[in-house]
Amino acid sequence: MPSKTTRPQLSWAMYDWANSAFSTTVMAGFFPLFFKQYWSGEVAATTSTLYLGIGNSLASFIIMLMSPLLGALADSGGTHKRWLIRFAMLGILATSSFFFVQQGMWPLAVLIYVIAIIGFSGANVFYDAMLPLLAPQSQQHSLSALGFALGYLGGGLLFLVNVLMTLKPEAFGLVDAAEGVRWSFVSVAFWWLLFTVPLVFFVKEQKPGADQPRGIKDSLQKLKATIKRIISNKNVLIFLIAYWFYIDGLATIIRMAVDYGLSIGLPSNSLIIALLIVQFIGFPATLVFGRIGNKYGAKRGLWIALSAYVVATFAAAFMQTALHFYLLAVVLGLVQGGVQALSRSLFSQLIPPERSGEYFGFLNMLGKSAAILGPVLVGIIGELSGSSRIGIVSILLLFIIGMFFLRYVNEPTHQHPATAH
């Protein structure tokens, strides 16, 4: 944990603990399996996959379009917290609604899923934008890492309970695994709501400056100015290019790892265990990367983590057993949070803090458009070569290009005081 962490800073970091339950239990864990086996069990597998893919793409596309405007609104009169709460409540209500979706009602499940992702991702625009407003530059790497680390731990703890609810439903007074999954969705909503409370009460809004936008029209004008500033700021522009490539590679591996494991014949229980490994290793490892960023710089920390991704991606092509998959999970758990945390904190140091919402809107836009190029690349290479293993190796190209551009990002060495606490 960063030294001298204030209550507002810890309360901010706890939101990662809160909402990571959604990304772990819902997005990565139960929704894809439950959708396939319960809500669309009577639909052809290829058809259900198509609709699930459409739902994912639609939600990502909406957030991709909304993120820059949401970022501009975040700086409109210091409304980061207000907008975060609105989107978080949208996600929380949608997640709890999964409980009422009966077997076979897959169109409703997809619709609720889209709404939940919009709430989850929209809130993150405002959450990320608070980082440079809550900590001086010297603490931003550690504070960003603390948030992601708490996210891995909190999401992993609840996911462990949720997995037990499905493996031993009778121990929780439940009828079967299906009821365990439905109550797991409710537990995620409650967890998300409960641990958002510290941010609501202890994080104060920044007082708006005279030049901040005051509404949607002003925010759009501010957005145009931000685009011009990004284009004219070579350092920020190069970082965003680098980030888009390597985060695309990271997101592709996250989304395709389970599918790849199934394709080579690994049991679903082994894949669930691997997800838990990533979560619990990710907690201490992300904190370590925060210290690496403080001591040696974020660029060096990112290079270490991305180099590990290169090795792991290449090794994945030769994976044969569940043990190999576990080892891959260990490697990803060691570096995944480091890439996420140091990317966020490095970007926060490249931008003006008073316009953090607008700039983080762009960063989130790139993040939500990630895993667009990667899956296509994997699919085309796999089809042409006739091997899914060769397709996986093609992701290396994204990491290599991202690391190439990252070399040319000038990392700030000076420090400046936080603009708000």
Q: What are phi and psi of 116, to 5 degrees?
A: -65, -40
pLDDT digits (tens, 9 = 90+) for 176-192: 989 999 999 999 999 99
Distance of CA 174 to the CA centre of its chain: 31
Residue 214 carries which side chain, given as an amino acid letter? R
Q: Which of 47-51, 269-273, 275-279 has the lowest mean pLDDT?
A: 47-51
Q: How far apart are CA 193 and CA 264, in angstroms?
A: 38
Stretch 335-343: mean pLDDT, rounded?
Answer: 92
pLDDT above 60: residue 211: no
Computed over every residue of the chain, the mean pLDDT equals: 84
Band of pLDDT at residue 236, cut at 50, 70 and 90: very high
* CATH number assigned to the domain covering 7-205+216-406: 1.20.1250.20
What DSSP string runs through 274-308? HHHHHHHHHHHHHHHHHHHHHHH-HHHHHHHHHHH
Angle at 38 between CA 32 and CA 40, to 5 degrees: 80
Q: Which of 94, 370, 180, 356 is nearest to 256 (CA)?
A: 370
- What tokens were used for 399? 């990491």
The pTM (predicted TM-score) of the whole model is 0.77
Residue whose token pair is 């029209």: 217
Between 175 and 259, residue with greater pLDDT: 175
Stretch 313-324: mean pLDDT, rounded?
Answer: 87
pLDDT above 70: residue 215: no
Instruction: Identify the pLDDT of residue 371.
Output: 60
Band of pLDDT at residue 418, cut at 50, 70 and 90: very low
Asked if residue 160 lies in contact with residue 298, where contact means CB atoms within 8 angstroms, the answer is no
- What tokens were used for 132? 């440079």
Band of pLDDT at residue 208, cut at 50, 70 and 90: low
Asked if residue 125 lies in contact with residue 88, where contact means CB atoms within 8 angstroms, the answer is no
Instruction: Identify the pLDDT of residue 68.
Output: 74
Instruction: Identify the pLDDT of residue 129.
Output: 83
Asked if residue 261 lies in contact with residue 270, where contact means CB atoms within 8 angstroms, the answer is yes
112-138 per-residue burial string, b: 16 or more CB within 10 A, e: under 16: bbbbbbbbbbbbbbbbbbbbbbbbebe
Stretch 66-73: mean pLDDT, rounded?
Answer: 75
Instruction: Identify the pLDDT of residue 299.
Output: 93
- What tokens were used for 192? 């998300």
Asked if residue 8 lies in contact with residue 202, where contact means CB atoms within 8 angstroms, the answer is yes
- Segments making up each domain of the chain, as ranges: 7-205+216-406
pLDDT digits (tens, 9 = 90+) for 81-111: 988 999 999 999 999 999 999 988 888 998 9
Instruction: Identify the pLDDT of residue 415.
Output: 46
Q: What are phi and psi of 6, to 5 degrees?
A: -80, 165
Residue whose token pair is 């990304």: 23
Q: Which of 113, 95, 112, 86 is nearest to 196 (CA)?
A: 86
